[in-house]
Amino acid sequence: MERTAVRRRLSWQVATVAEVRRETATASTIVLDVPDWPGHLAGQHLDVRLTADDGYRASRSYSIASAWTGTSSTIELTVEQVPDGEVSPYLVGVLKPGDPLELRGPVGGWFVWKPEQEGPVQLIGGGSGIVPLRAMLQAHTASTTPVRLLYSVRRPESVIYVDDLKHLASADNVHVSLVYTREAPPGEPRVGRIDAEVIDRLAFKPTDDPTTYVCGPTPFVETVADLLVAAGHNPDRIRTERFGPTGG
Amino acid sequence: MGIVSPGFTGRRRSAEELPPGQYLTHDFPVLSAGPTPQVRTEHWEFTVTTESGAKHKWDWAALMALPSEEVTKDIHCVTRWSKLQTEWQGVSLDTLLADVETGADFALVSSYGGYTTNLPLDDLLDGQAWIAYEYEGEPIHSEHGGPARLLVPHLYFWKSAKWVRGLTLSDTEDFGFWETAGYHEYGDPWKEQRYAGD
């Protein structure tokens, strides 16, 4: 392991909410204007800090939902409301356009995809685990690398980024598959979790040597990563991001 | 910088004392960067390599033969959860390093699966760190780092490397996996040292 050349201090900065877009019954995308945003890689996250009028503070980390274009000062977060959460209900239900929001980032240099990376990309998301994968898909729009997304949701209404995914999937080198665990739309006979058969049918093969990104709740990530390893995928090529049940 | 988040009231903490920015959990969340390595105890080995290149090795039976300690500690994850009064059994690093001759200042911890993390050697000594193999009276589950993980509870929990396989002692500070990715080189939760420069 080597030292990084620059150890930049992450300072808090004030973003302004430009838009709050409802994605599902429990998730919203928050569009933020961040004038001094230093840029980020697809897959990185940031910290959000809320302050009550008596000075009480609470912070949480959220994946960045959008790719960095290099010119715009806009970034997006998509937040799934956690029942009994402290921060997420505020972000999803209270925050409105024009409000300030303190944040700092970007953070994380492992669960990232860079356009110059070679080889196919396998994305596997469960629930709101789609968020950093969506940033990767956005970052990929100018790339010729083949990408497959396997997205596990409970039911059709749970799909985040419905229109966006349709649009992204129209590219020749992007393949999007949805897996429904509770209820499928008409015409989709399979209801059930991702299993070895789904991996075999819809994911890149180990011989394709993809870089694989798995994101979702811990049991989802554990199961999928184990299935991939059992199917012969190199564990060193599988990157995971686990959303704990206590994300708040 | 002092802004107020309009309409945010927040949930005030219970009386329990947590490091700044942490919240209490009763679960045991899992955080790791890749698939969970399945390490069998018959293949397990722990190696300490000193700055002169000398190697000290223990296999599972040798670890089990060493005196162990039961410790109850609060643990704090940089992702903001804290868990209080967790119970572990393991071998103190004081025991493992008793016969290791070194003047090194730093240790790079390495794990099965390729994970690494760095910390000052002093933070592994004087009753501050263990190679733990039981959690709450049971063998540590592989997703929580079994068969054996490092336990350094006074630092953020990413320093408590899962699936630990060795220490490399050195006069220079070499950054580990998360430290290279922008996390703090030391990681004191009470000083909220989450990221580089904090």
ipTM field: 0.81
Query: Does residue B198 lie in a domain region?
Result: no
Residue A247: per-residue pLDDT:
39
* Torsion angles phi and psi, residue B156, rounded to 5: -50, 150
Distance (Å, rounded) from C-alpha B153 to C-alpha B76?
7
Residues of chain A with CATH 2.40.30.10: 13-107
Q: Which CATH architecture has domain A121-243?
A: 3-Layer(aba) Sandwich (3.40)
Query: Does residue B186 lie in a domain region?
Result: yes
Q: Do A2 and B182 touch (CB under 8 A)?
A: no
Residue B15: per-residue pLDDT:
52
User: What proportion of chain A, given as a percentage, has pLDDT over 70?
Assistant: 95
For residues B159 and B56, the answer to whether their CB atoms sit within 8 Å is: no
The answer, yes or no, to whether residue A126 has pLDDT greater than 90, is: yes
Query: Does residue B58 lie in a domain region?
Result: yes
Residues of chain A with CATH 3.40.50.80: 121-243
A229 to chain B: which residues are within 8 Å by CB?
A: 35
Nearest CA among B196, B116, B159 for reference residue A5? B196
Domain tally, chain B: 1
Indicate which CATH number applies to the domain containing B93.
Answer: 3.90.420.10
Residue B142: per-residue pLDDT:
93
Q: How do residues A230-244 score in pLDDT, each as one tens digit?
A: 999 999 999 999 875
Query: Does residue B143 lie in a domain region?
Result: yes
- When pLDDT is averaged across residues A72-84 and rounded to a whole number, the result is 92
The answer, yes or no, to whether residue B130 has pLDDT greater than 90, is: yes
Query: Does residue B181 lie in a domain region?
Result: yes
pLDDT grade for A4, boundaries at 50, 70 and 90: very low
Residue A246: per-residue pLDDT:
40
Residue B33 has its nearest CB partner, among A3, A229, A240, at A240
pLDDT grade for B27, boundaries at 50, 70 and 90: confident
Name the residue with higher pLDDT: A71 or B53. Answer: B53
Query: Does residue B149 lie in a domain region?
Result: yes
Closest residue, chain A, to B168 (C-alpha) = A1
pLDDT grade for A7, boundaries at 50, 70 and 90: low
Supply the range of the domain harboring residue B126: 42-191
Query: Does residue B11 lie in a domain region?
Result: no
pLDDT grade for A5, boundaries at 50, 70 and 90: very low
Q: Which of B4, B5, B31 to mutate to test the interface with A (most CBs of A within 10 A)?
A: B5
Measure in Å the smallest separation between the Cα of B90 and chain A Cα atoms: 26
Distance (Å, rounded) from C-alpha A37 to C-alpha B61?
53
B180 to chain A: which residues are within 8 Å by CB?
A: 1-4, 109
Q: Do A236 and B176 touch (CB under 8 A)?
A: no
Nearest CA among A123, A137, A127, A194 for reference residue A158? A127
Residue B13: per-residue pLDDT:
63
The answer, yes or no, to whether residue A23 has pLDDT greater than 60, is: yes
CATH topology of domain A13-107: Elongation Factor Tu (Ef-tu); domain 3 (2.40.30)
The answer, yes or no, to whether residue A6 has pLDDT greater than 60, is: no
User: What proportion of chain A, given as a percentage, has pLDDT over 90?
Assistant: 80
Query: Does residue B13 lie in a domain region?
Result: no
